[in-house]
Structure 1
Amino acid sequence: MGLGAAVVVVLLALAVTVGIGIFRGAGAPVQSVGGSVSTAAPSAPPEAALYVHVSGSVVAPGLYVLAGDARVVDAVAAAGGFADGADTNGLNLARPLSDGEQLHVPSVGEVSTPAAPSERGGQTDPRVNLNTADATQLDALPRIGPAMAERIIQWREANGRFTSVEDLLAVPGIGDKMLESLRELVTI
């Protein structure tokens, strides 16, 4: 009986060691470049991943890979949360993020300067975002009525995020001519 108990103890210790190794490996970031890039995926980023550059008053500014449905609150959390002196009311934490966006977290008293068009990241961009717009926002576009707005939303729900403005061509009823009239008025 002593040998059987020893075998059970060894097998139990082995199982615990393997289990701890698997558990620890599951949550570790795969990549970290200069301490400013991190990914949550164990291999390639998910299909609907967003790359967001978080700057300003956060604990760890940098480039983060987030889920496709991430919001500002998720980007701030990925960057370690607000730093001391952050203007926590300076952002809409519920706003959905866009791929390639730069999210700047202001400090209390910071005077914001208008962003260049390529740095807007959707915050001050007057164009309608195809991935976040509701039916009312889409309906306000020229040549888009309530029915077409609903078809755009249905396409988005069935196929995921728009990856380019040209994806509008896949929406029933939108052709080349309509796409050209919308091209400068929409973004992804």
Structure 2
Amino acid sequence: MPAGAARRLAARERLPVWLQARCAVEPRTVAAVGVVLVAAVGFAGQQYWSARPREVTAPALTAPAPAAPAVVPAGATASAGPPAGAGGGAGPAPIVVDIGGKVREPGVRRLPAGSRVEDALAAAGGVRPGTDTTGLNRARVLVDGEQVLVGVDATDRPQPGGAVPGGPPAGPLSLGSATVEQLDGLPGVGPVLARHIVDFRTARGGFRSVEELRQVNGIGERRFAELRPLVRP
């Protein structure tokens, strides 16, 4: 054994046992341990790098492409919708009434369906000052062909049945505008029944048909059959 190696061996034997064990590690073992440590550090660094937070970029939005216009085959015509402003149906026809008596502008007026006596008076310019309108139902609904007389005495009104004194009959009597005196002149109708007819007309806002005369108290089938050709709504 060389002298140098012998001296190192002798010096190591004099050291404590724990120190001899630490110094007994060979260089190859130290190198292997170093390689393992380097590999462990590299693996830990890779895991840390891959787990770091990253910035995420949202994808850009793209507008949808415009739809291509529909192609109509040759010889075919596109269906057209209903014309603009076309209504579902015509409204109710207007009514024509004759407004007379003590009004500013008497005459025949064309009014919307469902108009009332007050509307007719306004169309005639209103009632003259000082005219007695007692008994005039301004809220009554008018019917087509009706005559409205304002402030006319009973002696000046048309006779029952629409006849003019000394002249031929003018036609059926209007249930919507006839007075108690006019109704009293009808066959089989007295003052009491005439008042019932006027009260019924006031409560219902007028007669819409002659058939409603059946609902008046005191008018049976026989009397209605006699009055039917003599009156109109």
TM-score class, shorter-chain normalisation, is 0.3 to 0.5
Give 1 or 2 for the bigger CA radius of gyration. 2
Relative contact order: is structure 1 or structure 2 higher (C-alpha 8 Å, sep ≥ 6)? 1
Structure 1-normalised TM-score?
0.42
Structure 2-normalised TM-score?
0.35
